[in-house]
């Protein structure tokens, strides 16, 4: 499996395909030992499982979803609790909005997962089943390793989309996808410049220039310059992940993959 190569300014080799986002190495393992005995595993009865520490002070990293063999940590963006009677955790999934409609919680002595308008009841495993599953399962960091960086389109309906690795924060592991919605293709980049003046992503077919401080974007092909409309990525997560093209059909590792 190929992975994107992050250089300070230049990407000299072809980056990975959009689907290659699932962490595999032991460096992605999460040590659950400190809270292992507090984990509760619940299921919908269809081989979908959530492992969670229901209550406590440090709970933002203690929500996992998986198939019982591998659990992926969820990026918890918020939530609340009322004593030991109820709680909810809002987790990252840009396909679902607003945020409160992607949540896992406990109320009226019942666990449930919400993905948009769908609410799925979850029931705890027996103590013996939980112990066996937790002991044998692999717990990993979040499955999806990229984040949306920039999106633009021209008047003809072609989109120009850039994403990058989430970590480390200052990495230059960008990927560029170009084309109409649903049929975008990843471009082989030959040069990347990203600094306080903006960004430039050069490919064999042209250059995408993002002049962020002036809120402008251009696609330059030879002497021809096409002015692009910048589209806010923060307002278009559902479209980017479900309709745009690069990620269609991909699993993000969240409960909303299945529930």
Sequence-distant (≥ 6) Cβ neighbours of residue 17 within 8 angstroms: 2, 186
Rounded CA gap, 32 and 51, in Å?
A: 11
First-to-last alpha carbon distance for the chain, in angstroms, is 29
What are 7's two structure tokens? 């250089």
pLDDT digits (tens, 9 = 90+) for 55-85: 876 767 799 999 999 999 999 988 888 988 9
pLDDT for 257 = 98
* Annotated domain spans of the chain: 26-140, 146-244
For CA atoms 59, 236, 116, 82, the dihedral sign is positive
pLDDT for 56 = 77
Name residue 150's beta-bridge partners.
162
| Per-10-residue mean pLDDT, the chain, length 259 | 34 41 70 95 98 83 95 94 92 92 96 97 98 98 96 95 93 95 94 88 90 79 91 95 95 98
């Amino acid at each position: 499996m190929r992975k994107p190569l992050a250089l300070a300014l230049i990407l000299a080799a072809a980056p990975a395909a959009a689907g290659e986002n699932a962490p595999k190495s032991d460096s992605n393992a999460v040590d659950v030992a400190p809270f292992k005995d507090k984990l509760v595993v619940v299921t919908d009865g269809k081989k979908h499982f959530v492992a969670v520490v229901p209550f406590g002070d440090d709970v933002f990293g203690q929500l996992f979803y998986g198939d019982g063999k591998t659990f992926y940590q969820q990026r918890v963006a918020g939530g609340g609790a009322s004593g030991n009677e109820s709680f909810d955790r809002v987790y990252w999934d840009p396909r679902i909005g607003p945020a409160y409609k992607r949540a896992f919680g406990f109320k009226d002595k019942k666990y449930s997962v919400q993905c948009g308008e769908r609410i799925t009841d979850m029931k705890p495993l027996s103590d013996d089943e939980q112990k066996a599953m937790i002991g044998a399962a692999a717990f990993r960091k979040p499955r999806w390793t990229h984040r949306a960086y920039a999106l633009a389109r021209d008047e003809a309906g072609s989109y120009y989309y850039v994403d990058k690795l989430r970590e480390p924060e200052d990495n230059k592991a960008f990927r560029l996808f170009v084309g109409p919605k649903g049929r975008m293709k990843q471009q082989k980049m030959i040069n990347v410049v990203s600094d306080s003046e903006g960004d430039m992503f050069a490919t064999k077919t042209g250059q995408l220039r993002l002049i962020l401080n002036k809120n402008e974007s251009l696609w330059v092909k030879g002497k021809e310059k096409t002015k692009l409309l910048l589209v806010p990525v923060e307002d278009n997560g559902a479209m980017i992940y479900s309709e745009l093209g690069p990620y269609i059909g991909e699993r993000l590792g969240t409960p909303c993959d299945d529930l």
